[in-house]
């Protein structure tokens, strides 16, 4: 069974590498970036398997909205990769929305 990935910074660096690898193995990817237009080549190659979304991870409200969009599109998230070093499995809405603003920003700034 294929996995559903949520990857931040998907337009370059490790985020791009992980996005390409997940798509190549047949998984689906919610690929977030401050510049989702930089993902157009992947959309052309993989079609509906990739959902590019604009996201600045320091914007908590936009991040929550992006996760909701991802869940609406694919029904679940199996792997969440916040480039470069943190990842969690099976992220739930409660996990995401229960974080305080301070913890949200410190996590995104460290990552």
Nearest to 66 by CA among 43, 74, 40, 26: 74
Q: In this predicted structure, what is the pLDDT of residue 86?
A: 45
Note the pLDDT of residue 58.
82
Output the pLDDT for position 96: 58
pLDDT of residue 93: 55
Long-range contacts of 69-72 (CB under 8 A, 24+ apart): 69/30, 70/4, 70/6, 70/30
Ranges of the chain with pLDDT below 50: 84-90, 104, 106-111
Beta-strand (E) ranges in the chain? 4-7, 28-33, 50-54, 79-82, 86-89
CA 47 centroid distance within chain: 17
The topology (CATH level 3) of 4-110 is Rossmann fold (3.40.50)
| Strands of the 4-7 sheet, one edge to the other | 50-54, 28-33, 4-7, 79-82, 86-89
**Rounded Cα distance, 61 and 66, in Å:** 9
Rounded to an integer, what distance in angstroms lies between the CA atom of residue 3 and that of residue 18? Answer: 13
Q: What is the pLDDT of residue 52?
A: 98
pLDDT attached to residue 49? 98
Entry pTM: 0.76
pLDDT in the model for residue 19 = 97
């Amino acid at each position: 069974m294929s996995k559903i990935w949520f990857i931040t910074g998907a337009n370059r660096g490790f985020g791009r590498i992980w996005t390409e690898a997940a798509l190549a193995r047949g998984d689906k990817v919610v690929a977030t970036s401050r510049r989702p237009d930089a993902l157009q080549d992947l959309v052309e190659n993989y079609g509906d398997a990739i959902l590019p979304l604009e996201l600045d991870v320091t914007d908590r409200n936009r991040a929550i909205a992006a996760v909701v969009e991802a869940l609406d599109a694919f029904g679940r998230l199996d792997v969440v990769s916040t480039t470069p070093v943190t990842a969690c499995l099976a992220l739930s809405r409660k996990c995401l929305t229960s974080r305080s603003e301070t913890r949200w920003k410190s996590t995104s700034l460290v990552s």
